[in-house]
Structures are given as structure tokens and as C-alpha cells.
Structure 1
Amino acid sequence: MDGATEDEGEDSGDCGNKGLPPPADQVPEGEHNDSIPPQTEWSILSISEHVAREALVQYTANKCCYRIAPAKHMVVQNLTPLNTFRYRLQTFTETRETFPISEPYNGGFVDSSDVAPAPAPWAIVVDAPPLFTDCEMHIPVPHTYSVQDCPNCQGRGKNQCHLCIGSGKRRCTACNGTGWQDTSNQSCLFCSGSGKRRCSDCHGGGWQKCIRCSGKGLLLYHSELTITWKNSVAEYVVDKNFGFPIYHLQEVTGKEIFSDENQVVYPIVNFPEPTIDRGSESCIAQHQMQFASNSHILRQKQTIELIPLTKVVYEWRGKVYSFYVFGNENKVYTEDYPAKCCCSVM
């Protein structure tokens, strides 16, 4: 029913059922995968001086206020690898809600509960989208249809004109309702001296067709099932307090060293970086608390990435500066670049 519009809860007596909990037999039971990769996969070599220089040159080239000379001619003193880990949990959920919908009734068959019992929201079978893909679907629920008087017009199919209050006439704007012209003692030509003119909104009838029911006086109600598939992500990044703002790591990718996917997953255990164990436990508990009561968890996936992060210390004109190169993309972060010019954008 493409022309259907969402109905107000107070009109239909049904405000909808939001976040309908799935049946108990659909609550997932997880499997445990504790296969932590061997340590040989965790090592990422420090970037070379050439890569660091090229990264800074590219960075300064995209900054209108940065001169490129220090990036090209700096003397690199030290490159320190500060690689860190990022844990990411993806939870793919399905949520079902019902809402009352109405449209003008034009006659014909009504698929009411007298025909057959209405199915429960979670009993309606649909094809889910690809895993970890956001999607939304709207489905009319069979056997929930009923015909009722339109609450906006009480079944009349028309409403009193709100501009003329049903009189069919409004004050004449030419004479401001006096019935006389300002420049003479003659009566107003537009209203023939009455001070009123026919209402243009209702064409003098005093009533207007009800928009909600299209003048039919009756509405066809039904329940609409809204199914929402959503991929929610929780992340934990190990912050080793190296002076690098870790929120910048959201901009880059790393090397995936661990992946575990099941209907539900369990926290990581015995990872060489202990905070990853605690981070995974926190993320999983957060999603369980957020989704378990009103959504169906279809699938979960957890990964661990090793993110390249290198601190570069260099000398320029007798002074020492530093910058960071991070991620597979070799992005740059620096606070003390030595050759900035002051300019303002008007």
C-alpha cells in the first residue's frame, strides 16, 4: 500500500509495539574460538627513512600554510615503532516493531482477524540482507485490517472551513469590512456594501473535503511491521600514552591478525596485550546489554588489528622536531612542524 500514511496513536488507540523481543528459542548461543595467532604475525617492521620522508612531504603538500622544505631536507635522527592494537566488534541485529497505518477506504475486501488470526511479528518470514549490512523493510501484517470512521471528520467526509468558521463568507479586504469605499461615500464595489465576500477556501460552502479520508468518511487501518537490520560497531584501541592522540587511528586501517565470527562470540582470552582481553569483554558486554532484550542477534564478528605507528625525530636548522606516521595509509600527525606561515582565509 504505497499511499498509506502513518497514523497517530491517539486516533487508532494503538501506539505501536517498539522493540518487540524475539521468542526465547531465537536467543543465540555462542561458540568459543580462542585461537590466538602466533606471535610471528604481530611484528610489523618500522618504516624506512624514505617512507617517513615521503609521508611528510605528502602531508605538507596538502597544507596551504606549510612550506615543504623541512620535509624534503630534514635530518632524520630516530624512527621508533610504537605499533598498537585495535579490537573491533561487529554485531548484526534484527529488530521488529509494529505501527498502526491508515489510508482512505474505497470499499472492497477487508482482510480482518475474522478471516484468520494475525501472525505474530517474529513469525513472519522474510529474507535478510547480506550480513553486516544496514537495511530496513516495511511489511503490512496480514489479517490486521479494519474499517473505522475517520477521526478527523467523525465520518462525515468533510470538515468545517477553519477560515470562515462554516459561514462561507469572510471580511472584505477591499473595504476592511466597512462596506464603504475610503475615497467616496459609495458602497464597496467588491462586496456590494455588505462588508463580506465569499470565502475562497471553501468557495462559499462553509465546508471542505477531509484530506485524511479523501472525503470518504472511512479509514482502512492495519498494522505495519518495520524490520530493521543494523550493523553496530564497538572498538577498543590500546593507548600506550606515547603522546599520539589515538582518535586519529579511526582514519586508518591496520593489519588484521585475528578474526572470529559466529552467531555470538566470546571475549578474547590470553592475548599477549592484556588490555585487549578486557577491551573485548567490555565491548561484548556492552552489545549484549544493548541488544539482547529487544533485538535478535544474527551474527557477530570480532577482529584484532595491528596498527603501524612510528614516531620520527628529526633535526631542522639546529632544532629537533618530531611527527608520527600511522596506519597502512602512512598518514601523518605533527604538532610542531617548523615551517608554518600565517595566513587567513577570507
Structure 2
Amino acid sequence: MPNETQPILQGGNNTMYTQGQPQGYPPQQQGGYPPQQPGYPPPQQGYPPPQPQQPGYPQPQQPGYPPPQQGAGGGYPPPQQGAGGYPAPPQGSYQGAPGGPQGTDEPSYKGDIPDDDVEVNPDNAAGAAPIASAPPLEKMDQVAGYNQMDAPLPPPPPPSYDEATQPTERAGIEQTPTLTDEEAREALLSYVAENCCYGKKAAKNLHVNDLKHTAAFHYTLETFTEKRTTKWVNEPFSGQPVDGPQNGPAPLPWSIAVNIPAMFTNSIAKVEVPHTASVKPCHDCHSMGFRRCHTCLGRGRTRCHHCHGHGRRHVNHYDHHEKRHISRWESCTFCHGRGRQRCFTCHGHGQITCCTCKGRGSLKFFIQLTVNWINHMNDNIVERTALPDELIRNVTGQVAFKEENARIWPINHFPDQAINQASRELVQQHSGAFQQERILQQRHQVRIIPVAESLCRWKEKNFSFFVYGFERKVHAPDYPQQCCCGCTIL
């Protein structure tokens, strides 16, 4: 059975290969892999052919590609010469740097490399691209007032009703406009015109028996709150300013001033907590700036997936001279008979740029404050006709009452007691619903939406329709001239 680490050059029972190499097929030792050579990478002579060193990329053993160092305390290497006592970032990049070569013939990675060839398989865990990771929290600095991370911080006490002066006088409620019979008919004609399957005769020739005017009330309560959370984050260190503990103690989370973008609008802001930054070696690459390639596992080469590492492929073709199909083995054109290909991820280097530090070798750590502004809104609709309540929510009406304060008082002067009761319940509900958020502002309002119900008759058929809102929307589920099988009604 052929060895998996070398191309198969003998064809088993194929007599074409028992007498020697076929014509056009490279000799066994030419550009191939020596059958007795143990391990991988291949020796420096014979495989692959030496290529001239391209400019702009250092030799594998030049500075910028140091071998892994013995870890120091906490899993980090000893500090090297650099600014602030931290290791200097490695020179150049290890994956597709502008001006650099597209590949190399010898892997630069000197760490743990498997003995066997690696089969490229996207479903394999070895083929999964690495993602940036965060170090364990026990390696982070201890900052006073920041013991609780990734959780909402308890806010200061909310404003009391003593700070929100109760209004002594509230404006009266104005009357809403009404519709005439002709205005209701015009609204129905516009509604019918928007529905291609509705006939117009019923709207033009209907007889209005009665037109009832009512009003729907829409009460809304909004509570604008602020929620704050903190967590440790890191970013590649490339010489940016570092505001560390040497500049003073870190302020408490709720004492940091953050401008509110807009009132009663959901938004988010992220800021760096002052005096919490520091620079540490990258925990993922041990400050080297590169990691072992996840595709070839540091070998720089992968097994050719076209010939599965054999170096040749079994092909069928039609021989026009002999008038028959011939099966034969040919050298693999994808790997040139070598059975291996240069890794497409690391271009043969065996290592890739560290995705956590982006090749810098060092990370800037700091506490990030995340501020969420949330507008909580609840409403209540009072509508005493057959018109669905959800239709009232999406139309405009007359704003009869509106108040805004740090803490608002329930409505107690509205003519409809259902609105007063809804206001008391919603205000009480909001007063204790947001324990982990700070209440910044509250406001509530009442809108009056005009509703007209028209009782009509057409061809001995009684029906009704509603006209509601300042847009004069129509709701006519019982319209007598509806057609669902085609647009033939005029």
C-alpha cells in the first residue's frame, strides 16, 4: 500500500507502469517527494525547486519571525526592548501584506507541526478561521467601583414626585371637527377607488339614513430611561494614547458625563472610562504578532484535494485512432505531480497574522462604558363603536392634552373617566418597572380622533362604514359591491 506522505508512482495492476514510467510522466524523483524521506516539511534540496527570493519579504530566519519563546508568568513572554517596556510590534505582516510576496517555499512557522499531511476540509475544526478572543477576567487590573461587569449597574435613586410639581391648572379639552354627509360620501368613493375589485355604484347611489359622530381617545405614556453597563475590551496597540491609573483614580460609572443625543429616542453610546487603560502582551499569540495557520497547521503545504496526495489522476478519454475509450493515469495538473499544494491561507508561510492584535503583538486594555437610552411607551385606546381599536393608533388626531416633566402626575381632569383610570394605572406601572435604569424624563398626552359612522342603504341592502382620523380613513367591511373573482363590476 503506498505511503500517504508521497505521490503514488506505481500503478498497481496497470501494466503500463510495470515496465517503467509512462511517456510524458515525470520521473519518480523529479520534482516529486522522496519515498523514504520521513516527516514533512520536505528537505531543502529537490523539493520544491528553489525560487528566487522576492523583494519586500524577509527571509524566514530574519528578524520579524522569531521562534516561540518560553512563556513567563501569566502565560506571557518576557518583555522585550520597546516603548514603555512592552515588546515592539513585529515588522511587516504575515498574510498578504502590500508589496510582499504571494508565497514561499519553506514554512516560517517553527512551533508544533503535525507529521502527516493536512487534508483541506472546511467542515473540519482545523479549517475554521480563528476569531479574536478575550483574556480571562482574573488577568485584568482591579479598578475600584468596577467589580460588576457585563451587567446593568444599579442607578442612583430616581426623582421623587416632590421634585415634579403637580400642575394646579390644566387646559380644557377642545371639541373635535365633524363631517357632513357629502364629506363622508367622498371619503367612501376614495376608498373604493383604491380597491380595484370594488364597484362604484353603491358609493355613488347610496342613501344615508344616519350619520353618527363620536370620538376615540388615545392616551400614551413615555418614560425615557438610561441604562449603563461596563466591560473590559481590548484593541491592537499601535502607539495611541494610554490613559492609565497613573493619571488618577477612575470615576464611578454613573458620575461620567455622557451627552444625550435626543430625548425620547432610542440610542446607544460607548465611551472609554478614564484612567483604566493599560498595555499588555497579546494573550493569543504571546506577543509574536502571528499564529499557526489554521488551514495547514503550520506545514505551509496541504494535500492536493484533486488527486488526494497521489500526484496523479485516473482519466478516461476517447482514442480516435483505435476507436475506443482508454483509461490511463496522468500526472495531476493542479499539483504538478507532487501531491501537495501551497496553502492558500498562509501562502506557504505556515503562519498568519494574529486576528486579536492584528500583528502588533500588544493590546490596549480599558474598561468600556456602554450607555443605552431607551424610550418605554405604553398606550390605551378608548373607542366605543365597532371600529377596531388598532386602527385608531395609526391615524392623526387632535392633541387635547400634553405634559412633560422629570416625573409626571396622572391625569384627573379628562371628561372621559376611562382615560383618567388608564393614566393612573400606566403611571403607577412605570414608576416601578425599570429598577435597573435611571428615569430621565416622562411625558404623556391624549389625542382625540374623530370617528363618523354612516348608516346607509343601497338596493334594499343596509350597510355601514366608518370614517376616522384627520386623514379620513375608511373602514367598510360590509360594502355591498365587492368582487373576489375578477374586476368586472363597474
Q: Name the TM-score, length of structure 2 as normaliser.
A: 0.62
The structural deviation recorded for 1:243 is 1.5
- Closer, same or farther: CA 58–191 of 1 in aligned 2, 3 Å: closer
Q: How does 1:175-324 map to 2 (within 5 A)?
A: 175-182=307-314, 191=335, 194-240=338-384, 242-291=385-434, 293-324=435-466
Paired position in structure 2 for 1:90: 222
Amino acid at match of 2:164: G
Amino acid at match of 2:464: S
The structural deviation recorded for 1:256 is 1.9
Amino acid at match of 2:355: I
SS where residue 232 of structure 1 aligns? strand
Amino acid at match of 2:389: I
* Distance across 2 between alignment mates of 1:151 and 1:95: 31
Q: 1:23 aligns with which of 156, 160, 170?
A: 156
Paired position in structure 2 for 1:3: none
C-alpha contact 1:27 1:297 (8 A) present in aligned 2? no
Deviates more, 1:274-283 or 1:183-192: 183-192
* Distance across 2 between alignment mates of 1:302 and 1:85: 13
Deviates more, 1:187-196 or 1:333-342: 187-196
- Closer, same or farther: CA 282–10 of 1 in aligned 2, 3 Å: farther
Corresponding position: 1:167 with 2:299: yes
* Distance across 2 between alignment mates of 1:27 and 1:167: 68
Amino acid at match of 1:50: E
The structural deviation recorded for 1:246 is 0.8
SS where residue 245 of structure 2 aligns? coil
**5+ residue gaps in structure 1?**
1-5
SS where residue 24 of structure 1 aligns? coil
* Distance across 2 between alignment mates of 1:10 and 1:275: 57
* Distance across 2 between alignment mates of 1:37 and 1:107: 61
Question: Over alpha carbons, which structure has the higher Rg?
Answer: 2
* Distance across 2 between alignment mates of 1:172 and 1:70: 77
The structural deviation recorded for 1:65 is 1.4
C-alpha contact 1:118 1:142 (8 A) present in aligned 2? yes
Amino acid at match of 2:156: P
C-alpha contact 1:92 1:298 (8 A) present in aligned 2? yes
* Distance across 2 between alignment mates of 1:139 and 1:42: 47
Paired position in structure 1 for 2:232: 100
* Distance across 2 between alignment mates of 1:37 and 1:224: 46
C-alpha contact 1:11 1:151 (8 A) present in aligned 2? no
Pick the structure with more helix per residue: 1
SS where residue 453 of structure 2 aligns? strand
The structural deviation recorded for 1:109 is 4.8
The structural deviation recorded for 1:197 is 2.9
* Distance across 2 between alignment mates of 1:9 and 1:204: 28
SS where residue 314 of structure 1 aligns? strand
Q: How does 1:323-342 map to 2 (within 5 A)?
A: 323-342=465-484
* Distance across 1 between alignment mates of 2:369 and 2:251: 11
The structural deviation recorded for 1:50 is 1.5
Amino acid at match of 1:289: G
Task: Pick 1 or 2: higher relative contact order, CA cutoff 8 A, min separation 6.
Answer: 1
C-alpha contact 1:135 1:228 (8 A) present in aligned 2? yes
CA displacement 1:166-190 (0-9 Å, x = unmatched): 2222112343211345366776576
* Distance across 1 between alignment mates of 2:254 and 2:453: 53
Deviates more, 1:132-141 or 1:78-87: 132-141
The structural deviation recorded for 1:335 is 0.8
The structural deviation recorded for 1:277 is 1.9
The structural deviation recorded for 1:30 is 2.7
Amino acid at match of 1:317: K
CA displacement 1:132-170 (0-9 Å, x = unmatched): 333332222211112233233243322111211222221
Deviates more, 1:181-190 or 1:199-208: 181-190
* Distance across 2 between alignment mates of 1:283 and 1:247: 19
Q: How does 1:138-149 map to 2 (within 5 A)?
A: 138-149=270-281
* Distance across 2 between alignment mates of 1:179 and 1:147: 49
- Closer, same or farther: CA 308–58 of 1 in aligned 2, 3 Å: same
Amino acid at match of 1:225: L
* Distance across 1 between alignment mates of 2:274 and 2:445: 41
Q: 2:167 aligns with which of 30, 33, 38?
A: 33
* Distance across 1 between alignment mates of 2:456 and 2:313: 89
Q: Name the TM-score, length of structure 1 as normaliser.
A: 0.86
Pick the structure with more strand per residue: 1
* Distance across 1 between alignment mates of 2:165 and 2:404: 9
C-alpha contact 1:30 1:264 (8 A) present in aligned 2? yes
C-alpha contact 1:111 1:142 (8 A) present in aligned 2? yes
Amino acid at match of 2:377: V
Aligned length: 336
RMSD: 2.9
C-alpha contact 2:197 2:486 (8 A) present in aligned 1? no
The structural deviation recorded for 1:23 is 2.1
**5+ residue gaps in structure 2?**
1-130, 141-147, 316-327
